[in-house]
Amino acid sequence: QYQVAQLYSVAEASKNNTGGGEGIEVLKNEPFTDYPLLGGKYSSGQYTYKIYHLASKVPAFIRILLPKNSLEIHEEAWNAYPYCKTVITNPGYMKDNFVIMIESFHIGDVGNQHNVHELPPDKLKIREVVHIDIANDPIASADYKVDEDPSKFKSQKTGRGPLVGKDWKHNVQPVMTCYKLVTCEFKWFGLQTRIEGFIQKAERRLFTNFHRQVFCWIDGWYGLTMEDIRAIEDNTKEELDRVRRISLFFTSSVLTFQRARACSPCRSYGGNTGKICFLSLGFSKYSFSIFRSIRIIRRFAQIVLAYVVYVELISKISGHFFQDKFVLIRYTQESFNGSEKREKCKLCTNTTTILKCNKCFHFTLKNIRRQLLFSIIIIQLIII
């Protein structure tokens, strides 16, 4: 039951953490053989390879300073249940200087075994044992959800729960203990001890929250077979890929200069003559039914707000800053309604349509691109 529960919960958690161009990308999910684990006791199971995109998890000013690859974490896992080995690295930036290895052993007891990972005496001396109680350990207010509280949850399918009291593990059946050995290396001088300690605390928080979910999602996974789980994993991968593609399109379009058109954001805002619309996604082509994630909706709202603020800023400074140095072609309300009004380009005097100057439009974009990108970055920082 726990094997099914764990895999089901991993799939659900993956969907909950993808959106806004971020989240989890599954590259491989396939059987493996002849890969010895735990001294050769296990050699076959399921291999997964994932990339965690973490840019949205850090402050915006850090995203600007750090290289892109530094915010991509790679995870390889060999699941030979009841034993599982997970290796987490950052090959694009820190390479061999950053490694987290998690060895998990799942045993149906109450956590009273001393050395299930068969560590040698020298490693046993430096090992620190931390007991996690999913029902009674304190939870950060940001992580707490009433429907994911084992001390209050009761399963409709099985009648299990709530887990009440300090000795609940001695009074319930079945019970499972996950023995996890976490080894981390962060080889940056001056930061090693502090970062490794932070990683250990973060892993404890992750294990606690995840296994609270495993128990409270019992009505979702109870009765499923391994064939059902593999089908769920395949569907999850397809959904993650689709959501990330949609998210990345809308996110990257903030920094893309596109042809203005009669889209709802422009029509709702640009009611006055002289407003400029450099950025437009043409939302009339897309249905909002594609937004199945709250995170994507939140990101979309940020982008729309950035448009509004950006258009207002440009309209205020265009008269005295850009007028003599760069090409400005006014976008009027008539342009959004599809009329073919023509004006003279202020730089080359070419008579052109309102959408672009055939002679010098691209030259103009090249000159003002840096100012435009800087303005958008500042707006995003303010919003975030």
- For the chain, 384 residues long, the average pLDDT of each consecutive 10-residue run is 93 70 79 92 94 73 69 93 95 90 94 92 93 94 93 94 92 93 88 84 92 96 94 87 66 40 41 37 38 55 57 46 36 38 51 45 43 53 49
Q: Do 348 and 326 contact (CB within 8 A), yes or no?
A: no
Domain count within the chain:
1
Question: Considering the entire predicted model, what is its pTM?
Answer: 0.63
Phi, psi for residue 163 in degrees, rounded to 5? -90, 105
314 in a domain, yes or no? Answer: no
**CA-wise closest residue to 259 among 144, 344, 362:** 362
Phi, psi for residue 32 in degrees, rounded to 5? -130, 155
Bridge partners (DSSP) of residue 101 are: 87, 183
pLDDT value of residue 118: 92
pLDDT value of residue 377: 54
25 in a domain, yes or no? Answer: yes
* Residue 33 Cα to chain centre, angstroms: 31
* DSSP SS3 for 41: coil
183 in a domain, yes or no? Answer: yes
* DSSP SS3 for 155: coil
Surface-to-core class of residue 127, CB atoms within 10 Å of its CB (0-12 exposed, 13-18 middle, 19+ buried): exposed
336 in a domain, yes or no? Answer: no
86 in a domain, yes or no? Answer: yes
Angstrom distance (rounded) from CA 23 to CA 244: 8
Angstrom distance (rounded) from CA 94 to CA 243: 28
pLDDT value of residue 300: 63
Q: Which DSSP symbol is given to 82?
A: T
**CA-wise closest residue to 182 among 232, 218, 241, 132:** 132
* DSSP SS3 for 352: strand
382 in a domain, yes or no? Answer: no
Residue type, 318: S
200 in a domain, yes or no? Answer: yes
pLDDT value of residue 259: 36
Q: Do 127 and 114 contact (CB within 8 A), yes or no?
A: no
What's the alpha-carbon Rg for the chain, to the nearest Å?
27
355 in a domain, yes or no? Answer: no
* CATH assignment at residue 133: 3.30.530.20
Give CA torsion, residues 57, 63, 65, 67, to 10 deg. Answer: 90
Provide the domain limits for residue 43: 1-245
